Amino acid sequence: MSYANEKMPHQVADTVPGEEDRLDKEVAAGVRGYLIALGLSVLLTAISFSLPSTTLVWAPAIPIALVVFAIAQMGVHLVFFLHITSGPDNTNNVLALAFGVLIVLLIMVGTLWIMANLNANMAPAAELMNLQMQH
């Protein structure tokens, strides 16, 4: 029971998706949350697989739509399965997640930067052929 519930027992505590099982001690509440998450995950996956083969979305916008569905899928997994919420007791989890995202973004940007500049740093093919013939 949280501090808010002890101080004001007549008010219902606000919950975020995925935290119902912490307030309700019943197993059914936790299972219900997981089943909702499973349904959302299956729905988002099915939409992502079927989207490119339909004409519902303008063809050049399909990659953007797939990115949106991927972000929604990550949100479902973070909230319902990993129980990472913005509650006061989850501050460390949110900070760890933010740090992980930062590291992944740094690796992605660094990789793209190296790949973009790799061509400029390579010797032309004719020079490589001359070097091979000289040896």
Residue whose tokens read 């101080």:
7
Q: Cβ–Cβ contacts within 10 Å for residue 43, how many?
A: 14
- Read off the pLDDT of residues 59-118 as tens digits, 9 standing for 90 and up: 999 999 999 999 999 999 988 988 888 778 888 888 888 999 999 999 999 999 988 888
Q: C-alpha angle with apex 70: 69 to 71, nearest 5 degrees?
A: 90
Q: Say whether pLDDT at 32 is over 80.
A: yes
Instruction: Report the percentage of the chain scoring pLDDT > 90.
Output: 41
The full set of domain ranges for the chain reads: 1-85, 90-135
Distance CA 135, CA 122 (A): 19
d(CA 20, CA 13): 11
